[in-house]
Amino acid sequence: MPWFLDFVAATELARRDSRDAGRTDPVTVYLHAIEEGKTRALEKIWPGEIVIEDPRAGTIKDRRKLRQFIRENKARFASLHVTVEIVASTSMGSRAAVELLAHLDNKGNVTRWPIAVVVESPDDESVFFRTYCSQWPVDGRRHVRPPILGPTKKRPDGVVGRHLAALAAGDIDAIVQTFTRTGFLREPIGPHAFHQGADALRSFFSKSFSEGGGIDLECCCITDDGVRCAVEYNLVRWGRHTVPPQAGVAAFERDPGGLLSAVRIYDDVEAPCDSGASA
């Protein structure tokens, strides 16, 4: 029955094509799963381990808990009338950092909610999703996020490395010099918390350092494609205060001249004192 063998071969090829397409854009598959409330596509593409690190739900590994998590998020997103757009994507090897902007429509009041998802596939069968965001746009509260990754000795080089060193030292002039003339920093609480140009950046960091000292970020994982660099970190010190390590990610975007045109932060860190700024 050669026709049957051809059919089986074609079916297997279609499965492989579907899996390959899903692997090249895993965040879209993940978002579709939440939109539909079903994990079938996720489990088909990655039959091995699926691990989700979520700011609200914590670590999810078990398939039953995965399905429950997807169903609950579908209901939550539906109640908030969420629509999602992709802002930027950074890829390096088997890892990618995708920045999203979720639009929440609560009784006609639209709030834009920045979210970042780092996806890593250690092999052809498994995938890890690490989501970073502030819960402030949703419920008006800060939620401390304990570390999900350990520190690494590796540090970003070039302008990103200089920026992080100046941030740790609390050196405002050096920080501002890492930006282009029109460069900006966006806080995790939303696009309205936006600081563009030298004067606005200087004002923001002056408030951030008002308690003395800089902000020390412990680098955990770096995804860099030469244009954008996503640094997953644990914040361990703010000014004179040593704080419980808190997880986050920052996306650094370079201009052609090698300076920073944008820094976008995704965490739920709050200053230990009333400095008037978030990390």
Residue predicted with more confidence, 254 or 244: 254
Q: For residue range 8-23, what is the model confidence (pLDDT) as tens digits? A: 343 333 344 444 544 5
- pLDDT band of residue 214 (cuts 50, 70, 90) is very high
Query: How far is 91 from 171, CA to CA, in rounded Å?
Result: 30
CATH code: domain 158-267 is 3.10.450.50
Other Cβ atoms less than 10 A from the Cβ of 157: the count is 11
Query: How far is 165 from 149, CA to CA, in rounded Å?
Result: 21
Question: Residues 253, 259, 261, 262: is their CA dihedral positive or negative?
Answer: positive
- Write down the pLDDT at residue 258: 95
DSSP designation for 40: H
Q: Which residues 6+ apart lie within 8 Å of 273 measured at CB?
A: 211, 239, 241
Nearest to 193 by CA among 129, 111, 117, 130: 111
Q: What is the CA radius of gyration of the chain?
A: 20
Domain positions in the chain: 2-139, 158-267
CB of 278 closer than 8 Å to CB of 181:
no
- pLDDT band of residue 95 (cuts 50, 70, 90) is very high
Q: What pTM does this model have? A: 0.88
- Write down the pLDDT at residue 25: 81
- Write down the pLDDT at residue 66: 96
Predicted confidence (pLDDT) at residue 127 exceeds the cutoff of 70: yes
State in words which class domain 2-139 has: alpha beta
- pLDDT band of residue 240 (cuts 50, 70, 90) is confident
* Residue 26: HSE in the Cβ half-sphere, 13 Å Cα cutoff: 27
DSSP designation for 57: T
Q: Say whether 158-267 and 2-139 share the same fold.
A: yes
